[in-house]
Amino acid sequence: MLKRQLSLLVCSTALLGAGFTTPAAAFEDEDARRAILELRSQLKMAGLSRLELSNQIQALQKEVAQLRGQLESINHSATQASVEQDYYDFGPNPQVGDPNEQRDYDNAINLFRQGEYETAAQALNNFANTYPNSVLTPSARFYEGSSYYATRDFQGSISRLERMVSSYPQDPQAGDALLVVAGSQLELNNIEGSKETLRRVISQYPNSPAADTAEERLKMY
């Protein structure tokens, strides 16, 4: 009897050591498996949610960039329209005696009027180099620099118009040239430089339409 009991005890111990599970242990294992599967499902859903959120953020960033581009285009168009209204006198072209000189100037300035700014800049520069002593050369230099402004080459506009003012300080368009310089500086976010240029207009060309415009512009800063 004792021998049989010992045999049963040994067998039971061996079974437990071999991984035999009771019904309660099996139930606990099933709960654990379900918990693991549920956790995996939650992690998968969280990963998908993060991916969806990332895609939404990228789409919003793209939309914001597009809106910024549209706003910049609108602002530039409005600024350019204001510049044309304030600075450019599109009256009859000045007249000179030399028909070839007159023809070359008219052709160049008409390109500017038609909005062909890159071609106009080249034609106006060619005119000024061909007729350096012409009474039309200061005007050609003014519209050359303005063409650079219209194509958003603001540094190019500033350098050319500053040279125009330096070469022809008493020209009727010198004050207007400085107004375009101030506009270019503003486009480049050089606020203080733009304000200083407007003050130059008021100081150097008092009682002129350009000075009146400069005073109005300073109130907007």
The percent of residues in the chain predicted with pLDDT above 70, rounded, is: 67
**Buried/exposed code over 135-157 (b: 16+ C-beta within 10 A; e: otherwise):** ebbbbbbbbbbbbbbbeebbebb
Quick one: pLDDT at residue 89? 55
Decide if pLDDT at 219 tops 70: yes
Instruction: Give residue-wise pLDDT tens across range 31-77.
Output: 667 777 777 776 666 666 667 777 777 777 777 777 766 655 555 55
Decide if pLDDT at 83 tops 60: no
**Buried/exposed code over 43-57 (b: 16+ C-beta within 10 A; e: otherwise):** eeeeeeeeeeeeeee
Q: What is the mean pLDDT of residues 121-141?
A: 96
Q: Global pTM?
A: 0.62
Q: Which residue has the tokens 């350009």?
A: 210
Question: What structural domains does the chain harbor?
Answer: 95-151 (1.25.40.10), 154-220 (1.25.40.10)
**Cα–Cα distance, 83 to 77 (Å, whole number):** 10
For 25, residues 6+ apart whose C-beta sits below 8 A from its C-beta are: none
Decide if pLDDT at 205 tops 50: yes
Quick one: pLDDT at residue 14? 42
Q: What is the mean pLDDT of residues 138-155?
A: 95
Tell me the pLDDT band of 8, cut-offs 50, 70 and 90. very low
What is the 3-class SS of the chain, one letter each residue? Answer: CHHHHHHHHHHHHHHHHCCCCCHHHHHHHHHHHHHHHHHHHHHHHHHHHHHHHHHHHHHHHHHHHHHHHHHHHHHHHHHHHHHHHHHCCCCCCCCCCCHHHHHHHHHHHHHHHCCCHHHHHHHHHHHHHHCCCCCCHHHHHHHHHHHHHHCCCHHHHHHHHHHHHHHCCCCCCHHHHHHHHHHHHHHCCCHHHHHHHHHHHHHHCCCCHHHHHHHHHHCCC
Quick one: pLDDT at residue 68? 67
**Cα–Cα distance, 167 to 201 (Å, whole number):** 16
**Cα–Cα distance, 138 to 170 (Å, whole number):** 10
Instruction: Give residue-wise pLDDT tens across range 91-127.
Output: 556 676 788 999 999 999 999 999 999 999 999 999 9
Token pair recorded at residue 6: 């010992």
